[in-house]
Amino acid sequence: MRLVIARCSVDYAGRLTAHLPSAPRLILVKADGSVSIHADDRAYKPLNWMSPPCTLKEGTGDEEGVWTVINKAGEKLIITMEEVLHDSSHELGVDPGLIKDGVEAHLQELLADRIETLGDGYTLIRREYMTAIGPVDILCRDADGQTVAVEIKRRGEIDGVEQLTRYLDLLNRDPHLAPVRGIFAAQEIKPQARVLATDRGIGCHVMDYDALRGIEDDKLRLF
C-alpha cells in the first residue's frame, strides 16, 4: 500500500463530473489497484475513489505532479499535486480476513445446510472456499450448473459488496469455475449496498435468521 499526503485538487470525469478544490488530503493506492482520496473528517469513507481494475499513470515533464487513474469503463480520476507532504509504501501481505462473530458464522452454517433457500436446484460445493485473498463464505451451483459465490454479513454494507467483487474477480480467472456470479446475503442490506451490488451484477438475498433455524415468526400474519 502506498500512502501519500499532499495538497491537491481532484477531478472526476465519467458518468458524472465532480471537482474537489485544493486542500491537504490522504491518497491511498492499494495493491489491488484501487485509488481513494480521504479527508480528515469523513471517518473511513473516501471523498472520491476508483475501484479496481484500473491503471495509475504519474505524469512527467509538463504534466509532472498530475496523476491520472483510468478504470475499465474509461472513467478518469485526475489528481493534481501542488505539494507532497508525505509519500511512503508498505507491504501488508495477504490479509487473513475478518473473523466472523457467532451469529455471522451460524448464518453461514445454516445457509450451507439449507442452500435451496437461495433458489430451487442450488447445490453446495463447499463452505470457506479459499482464494489468494481469503475464504469465500459459500461456493455453490445454481439449477443451471453455474458457479455462485455467496458472501454473508449480518448487516450488508458497501464494504461487503467490495469484498465479494474482489473474490469474483479472482474466481472468474479459474477456468474450472468460470463464469462465477455473486450473491450478497445478509439479515439487512443497506440501500447503498444494494445499489452497488445491482450495478455490478451481484444478486442480493435477505436472510431470515429465525426462519433458517426453523423457528416460526411469532408475529400475526394476514395470510
- Cα–Cα distances (Å) from 74 to 55, 70, 118, 199, 207, in that order, read 10, 6, 35, 16, 36
Give per-residue pLDDT as tens, 54-103: 899 999 998 999 999 999 889 999 999 999 999 999 988 766 655 554 56
CB atoms inside a 10 Å sphere around CB 21? 7
CA 182 to chain centre: 11
pTM of the model: 0.55
Give per-residue pLDDT as tens, 92-139: 876 665 555 456 788 889 999 999 999 999 999 999 999 888 899 999
Confidence of residue 216 (pLDDT cuts 50, 70, 90): very low
- Cα–Cα distances (Å) from 177 to 12, 112, 138, in that order, read 35, 19, 14
